[in-house]
Amino acid sequence: MAAPNAQLPPGWVAQWDATHQRHLFIETASGRSQWEHPLQTNSPPLDLLSQSPPPDNASAHHATHTKRRQYAAGQTQAYYGTTEAAGFADAAYGAGAGAAPAQQPGQLFTPGLAAESQFASQQGQPPAAQGGYFQGAEPDYPAPAAYAQPPYVGQQPQAAPQIGQLADQFGQMGINPAAGYSQKPFALYTTNLLTAAPDPRELSRPPPEIRLPPNACISNSPFANCDPSYQRSTLNAIPANNSILSKSKLPFALVITPYRSIQEGDDAVPLVTDTVIARCRRCRSYINPYCQFIDGGNRWKCVLCNYSNETPQLFDWDQTRNVAADRWARAELNHAVVEYVAPTEYMVRPPQPPYYTFLIDVSQAAVQSGMVATATRTILESLDRIPNADDRTKVAIIGFDTALYFFSIAPGAAESTMLVVSDVDDVFLPKPTDLLVNLTEARAGLENLLSRLGEMFQNTHTVGSALGPALQAAFKMISAIGGKIIVLSSSLPSIGTGALKVREDPKVLGTSKESALLQPASNFYKTFAIDCSRSQVSVDMFLFSSGYTDVATLSCLPHYTSGSTFFYPAFNASRSEDAIKFAHEFSEILASPIMLEAVIRVRATKGLRMSGFHGNFFVRSTDLLAMPAVPLDQSYAIEIAIDDPINSSFAVLQTAVLHSTSSGERRIRVLTLALPVTSNISEVFASADQIAIATFLANKAVERSLSSKLEDARDAITNKLTEILGTYKSTMTAAGAGASAQLAVCENLKMLPVLCLGLLKHIGIRQSSQIPSDLRAYAQTLLTTLPSQMLIPYIYPAFYSLHNMPPEAGTIGERGIIMPPSLPPTSERLERHGLFVIEDGQTIFLWVGRDAVPQLVMDVFNLPSYEQLRGGKMTLPLLDNPFSQRVNAIISKIREMRRGPYWPHLYVVKEDGEPPLRLWALSNLIQDRADQLPSYQQYINTVKEKINIGGYT
Amino acid sequence: MGPEGWLFLFSVLLAAGLLFTMVFFIIMFSDLECDYINPIDLCNKLNQFVLPENGAHAFLTLLFLFSGQWTAFLINAPLLAYNANKIRSKNHMYDATEIFRTLGAHKKEGFIKLGFYLITFFYYLYRMIVALIAESD
Ligand SMILES: [Zn+2]
């Protein structure tokens, strides 16, 4: 390689790099550089590709590019529906991305054979029918050919699945996922929505691949880019300038879940303990696997702003052992999600201990519903699980009805004294000390108090609630330090500040005035929330009520203080299901670690700006989110604006969370997501992430319904979808702007229309004059806080058929209980003799067909016949037969397979049972037509017509 | 100087005052954008001025009405109605929790009001001079 310049293609120069002792090849036109010789590598850089014709003629392109798609084998199987149950279940419900590709050993090295055998299995026999309950019933899965619509196995108009699988086998062979760049162009796979029915398994596929340019990442670690469960972008390729983005009509936003729970099988977040934190001096971003070392490693170049920073001297030094260390082993250069132990510069005060103040409603309604007894028992049982690593945790309990009841416990004492404050106009603390007590020191007294609290108010007849004054008292108690106020309220606040009125008027429901009911009624809850946020106090609301409790107003407190709202309508602890649900969720919240005194800031490559924020926090400055206590598994959506064209070949979005752990350590959690930049609109489409888009649209819809009307929110969803599909048609398909008999969209956005429809039909958004505003407001709080994994089933419920599920479903496979294959949520799939599950993550419906054979009813419910069965909330008996055990296993798997504290109720729904329950269950089958709401086919036809008219531009 | 001269002299001074209030509002909003002030302090500060500003404007408008200055009254009536409507629907105060979401609208409103006060300032000035000339004739 004496004169590499001589052999270079035009437009390239070679430059000797002294640091790496090799030639760097630079394309002069674009300024892009690479280590490989441009003729030796068959990988044109992304910029070159953008000049190749866009795949308008998708079918022609298809033949050449089909091999280039890569999905892990397990994922592909899940998608294409082989009934290799283990693979399917794993891929669909496995703990998280990153773990999936590790499956299916032994198939990798004979791609042709493997593909063939998979193809065979796909065509092949359905699994042996379970069908012991009725003779001759063919399992309708996985060969649903009996329907008018084409079956969804292999229904892509152009892509034959076996080719895709073949490609996967190749894909697994050689390409290092860490490199991320598969050196192939992004091909766009167009599909026709009118003929391709939505397939729920699409939703368990990973987001479109992130194809970074080669050498973007300095590490070979497979963890160098952020896992989608922590942070995902609606676009996995960022448009180079705003005009491309606005032309595509796709929303650009980030969905982050910075404090995601670590479940079994998840990797813990690596911790950098030596307090050597390399940050850019100019933009304050943290060093990450995408920064380049220059000047022999003495300096590093910030990937966000290109500033050249000094590398900290201790970067190559192991301080604990006092020996030289390898910087390439440092976690921050290998992991996209990393946590630093922060030195004292990051503290305005020593990390606070966790303080918990419980505000327990002890009015008649609360006591009689059994809430007080259940709550105190749950706290009592959870005392050991409350984060208390260094015995600094403090707890206070305040009861309230029309007066406030404080409990004072001297350290070490086993008895508590009750102090009553009945002047709620001017709240004061009756005692300066011993109200907020150390959990360890006052353990005996607390246990005693909690076990007696229910009895103390057993015979109360007080009606009314002084919630506002109680909040003020709790605030006085902990505002010097901060912490959590956990409110358990059973009635509408009626006395003192923050008193609310029953403002719901059934006549207003379903009209344009309805959104006023979803806005806070009193200013107190907003101003109080701001005070709380300032003093690092977070409020959780557990609301129980038999009547109107104004969730819209009360959920304001959790909204602006980063808490959570839980709502238990018509709670009655004498029904064991209610008690179990509340106790489970409450104890999960108590036991979960929290990030205290947190601030979140998202930084991005120059040109990008965070322009809108959705979720539970207080926006303290243009881009700083204040969160007194970050709960586990809460999600936030952040809109991004492209202010200036981006000149680099990839961009980085970095979220930093400065927080104190519940164990008293100041830490910084950094999430780094690197995405390629493209000036090709087809790449933008091909890399759009429908799940992130749906999550973002849910947030936008709620915002719109509050600032304007519910109707506007619904229109905005459909308009956005129409715009996206219309732009796709006019720019990406041969039809152009003219009318078309098809409704084209790329494969990776295939589920977007049905997710939009799910959102339109969601209880928080849908057109109806029957939905109480409390239920709406609660649904809206969930829509804005649930992480994508919970949110997607919440708007697009999962649907399983149990009576004919494959024999392995419900048994324990390699990775837990195997779930039956999920069906599209439409009542076409309901059978009169069948047993079905419909679930949205918050509620599970067990649907029993009216012709269910007695044997099935006997096996599942232990009842002689269908007639004896009663619908409603129930606990399924665990019987001594394999089918009952499998059904129970599936129900319990549904309850635990997603991240979050929720414990869904189980309702048994009889096909000819009470209409309200039946209609509620059926309203979850969102692809059906219901009242004025369209079916999926009607909906996409409407969208198609709108596009053909051209009204979307 | 006759009553009309005095009236417009007073209007000129009041319009100048309102003009400065609007300039202050706009400066505060850009301070917020540059993180020189946090939204809570900003809202506490600005909310003190909202009602006095609206009140001063309403006073001026009513003064025109009662003194029979129909043109001046009609010029000011739409803004009076706009302010009154905002107060009636209780969203005249700045809300710290929503301020970043609504900042664009607030700034726009500030600039429009600023322009309005500027134009009326010159109009009052003109009317004052006209009144003075008419008197001296
Ligand atoms: Zn920088």
**B89 CB within 8 Å of a chain A CB:** no
Burial B42-75 (b: 16+ CB within 10 A, else e): bbeebeeebeebbeebbebbebbbeeebeebbeb
Rounded Cα gap, residues B109 and A511, in angstroms: 29
The highest-confidence range among A10-19, A29-38, A76-85, B26-35, by mean pLDDT, is B26-35
d(CA A909, CA A49): 55
| Separation of CA A293 and ligand 1 centre (Å) | 13
- Contacts of residue A618 in chain B, CB cutoff 8 Å? 96-97
Helix H or strand E segment including A600: strand A595-604
Contacts B39 to A, Cβ<8 Å: 619-621
Residue B87 CA neighbour count, 13 Å, CB half: 14
Long-range contacts at A224-227 (CB < 8 A, ≥ 24 apart): A224/A178, A224/A180, A224/A289, A224/A290, A224/A334, A224/A335, A224/A336, A224/A674, A225/A180, A225/A289, A225/A336, A225/A672, A225/A673, A225/A674, A226/A336, A226/A337, A226/A671, A226/A672, A226/A673, A227/A96, A227/A97, A227/A98, A227/A336, A227/A337
Closest-CA residue to A875 (of A836, A834, A903, A898): A903
pLDDT of residue A947 exceeding 80, the answer is yes
Confidence grade of residue A39 (pLDDT, cut at 50, 70, 90): low
pLDDT for the residue numbered A738: 74
A621, A638, A707, A784: best mutation site toward chain B, by most B Cβ within 10 Å?
A621
Is A613 in contact with B100 (Cβ distance < 8 A)?
yes
Asked if B17 is an interface residue toward chain A (Cβ–Cβ < 8 A), one would say no
Q: Which letter does DSSP use for residue A111 in this model?
A: H
Q: Which pLDDT score is estimated for A30?
A: 54
DSSP symbols for A755-809: HHHHHHTSTTT---S-S-HHHHHHHHHHHHHS-HHHHHHHHS-EEEE-TT--TTT
A141 pLDDT exceeds 70? no
B35–A622 CB contact, under 8 Å: yes
pLDDT band at A826 (very low <50, low <70, confident <90, very high): very high
Residue A560: its chain B contacts at CB < 8 A? 97
Q: Is the pLDDT of residue A104 over 90?
A: no
Note whether A612 contacts B101, CB cutoff 8 Å: yes
Mean pLDDT of chain A: 82
**Per-residue pLDDT tens digits for A305-337:** 999 999 988 888 887 888 888 888 889 999 999
Residues B73-115 pLDDT 10s: 999 999 999 999 999 988 899 999 989 988 999 999 999 999 9
- φ and ψ at residue A412, rounded to 5 degrees: 85, -15
Q: B33 alpha carbon to ligand 1 midpoint, in Å? A: 21
Write the residue in B40, B95, B101 that is nearest to A534 by C-beta: B40
Q: Is the pTM of this model over 0.95?
A: no
Give the list of residues 6+ apart from residue A888 with CB closer than 8 angstroms, or none: A876, A878
pLDDT of residue A783: 96
Among A754, A640, A764, CA closest to A701: A764
Question: Among residues of chain A, what percentage have pLDDT more than 90?
Answer: 60
Please report the pLDDT score of residue B91 as a whole number.
84
User: The complex's ipTM?
Assistant: 0.87
Determine the pLDDT at residue A157. Answer: 38
Q: Do B39 and A619 touch (CB under 8 A)?
A: yes
Residue A278 Cα to ligand 1 midpoint, Å, equals: 11
Residues in chain A: 953
The DSSP code for A486 is E
- Tokens encoding A857: 């009813």
Dihedral sign computed on CA atoms, order B103, A248, A687, A677? negative
pLDDT digits (tens, 9 = 90+) for A729-778: 888 887 777 777 788 899 999 999 999 999 999 999 999 888 999 999 99
- Contact check, Cβ <8 Å, A621/B35: yes
- Residue-wise pLDDT tens digits, A511-523: 888 888 999 998 8
CA angle A243, A249, A253 (to 5 degrees): 90
What is the predicted pLDDT for the residue at A14? 61
Highest-scoring range by mean pLDDT, A11-20, A83-92, A161-170, B15-24: B15-24
Helix (H, G, I), strand (E, B) or coil at A335: coil
Interface of B with A in 102-131 (CB under 8 A): none
Q: A436, A626, A630: which is closest to A534 by C-alpha?
A: A626
Cβ atoms of A685 and A749 within 8 Å: the answer is: yes
Alpha-carbon gap, residue A375 to A857, rounded angstroms: 35
pLDDT at residue A33 in the model = 57
Residue of B nearest to A525 (CA): B97
In 3-state terms, what secondary structure has residue A878? Answer: coil
CB A108 within 8 A of CB A114: yes
Tens of pLDDT, residues A150-208: 333 333 333 333 433 433 443 343 333 333 344 456 678 888 888 888 999 989 899 99
CATH label, A746-940, candidates 3.40.30.10, 3.40.50.12640, 3.40.20.10, 3.30.1380.20: 3.40.20.10
Average pLDDT over residues A42-50: 39
In angstroms, the CA B50 to CA A706 distance is: 24
pLDDT band at A140 (very low <50, low <70, confident <90, very high): very low
Residue A1 Cα to ligand 1 midpoint, Å, equals 36
The DSSP line for A142-204 is: S--TTSSSPPSTT--SS--HHHHHHHHHHHHHH--TTT----S-----EEETTTS---GGGGG
pLDDT at A60 over 60: no
pLDDT at site A333 = 92
Quick one: which of A300, A214, A304 has its CA closest to A25?
A214
A668 CA to centre of ligand 1 in angstroms? 17
Percent of chain A clearing pLDDT 70 (strictly above): 80
Residue A46's SS3 state is helix
Nearest neighbour of B100 by CB, restricted to A534, A622, A703: A622
Give the CATH superfamily of A355-593: von Willebrand factor, type A domain (3.40.50.410)
Residues in A closer than 8 angstroms to B96, CB to CB, are 530, 618
Burial of A636 (0-12, 13-18, 19+ CB in 10 A): buried
Using a CB-CB distance cutoff of 8 angstroms, which residues of chain B are in contact with residue A703? 101
The tokens of A257 are what? 């879940």
How much is the pLDDT for A318? 81
Domain layout of chain B by residue ranges = 3-136
Residue B137, CB-side half-sphere exposure with 13 Å CA sphere: 6
How far away, in angstroms, is B117 Cα from ligand 1 center? 44
Please give the Cα distance from A318 to A325 (Å, whole number).
5
Helices B99-136 and B70-88: crossing angle in degrees, nearest 10, is 160
Mean pLDDT of A626-654: 94
Q: What is the mean pLDDT of residues A671-686?
A: 94
pLDDT in the model for residue A38: 59
CB contact under 8 A, A612 and B33: no
**What mean pLDDT value characterizes chain B?**
92
A506-511 average pLDDT score:
88
Number of Cβ within 10 Å of residue A17's Cβ equals 12
Chain A residue numbers with beta carbons less than 8 Å from the beta carbon of B97 are 526, 529-530, 560, 618-619
Size of interface A-B (CB pairs under 8 A): 29
Smallest CA–CA separation between A429 and chain B, in Å? 27
Q: A164-173, A696-705, A749-758, A909-918 — which is least confidently predicted?
A: A164-173
pLDDT value at position A323? 83
Residue partners of B62: CB distance under 8 A and separation at least 6: none
Please indicate whether residue B99 or residue A220 has the higher confidence score (pLDDT): B99
Mean pLDDT along residues A348-368? 93
Question: Ligand 1 centre and the CA of A281: distance in Å?
Answer: 6
Specify the amino acid at residue A265: G
All structural domains of chain A with their residue ranges: 4-224, 355-593, 746-940
Residue B9 touches chain A, beta carbons under 8 Å: no
Q: Tens of pLDDT along A535-591?
A: 999 999 999 988 899 999 999 999 999 999 999 999 999 999 999 999 999 999 999
The owner of tokens 């200036």 is: A644
**Tokens read off for A700:** 């936008």
User: Do residues A200 and A822 make contact, with C-beta atoms less than 8 angstroms apart?
Assistant: yes
| Average pLDDT of the segment spanning A441-459 | 92
How far apart are the CA of B13 and the nearest CA of chain A, in angstroms? 36
Q: Does B135 touch chain A (CB under 8 A)?
A: no
Which residues in A lie closer than 8 A to residue B38 (C-beta atoms)? 620-621
Beta strands in A402-553 (DSSP E): 404-408, 417-421, 437-438, 483-489, 537-545
For chain A, which residues lie within 8 Å of any Cβ of chain B, measuring from their own Cβ?
526, 529-530, 534, 560, 612-613, 618-622, 624, 703, 707
Ligand 1 midpoint to CA A277 (Å): 14
Q: Alpha carbon A197 to chain centroid distance?
A: 25
Integer Cα distance of B11 and B17 in angstroms:
10
Q: Please, are residues A287 and A332 in contact by the beta-carbon 8 Å criterion?
A: yes
Asked if B97 and A530 come within 8 Å (Cβ–Cβ), the reply is yes
Nearest to A342 by CA among A655, A667, A665, A600: A667
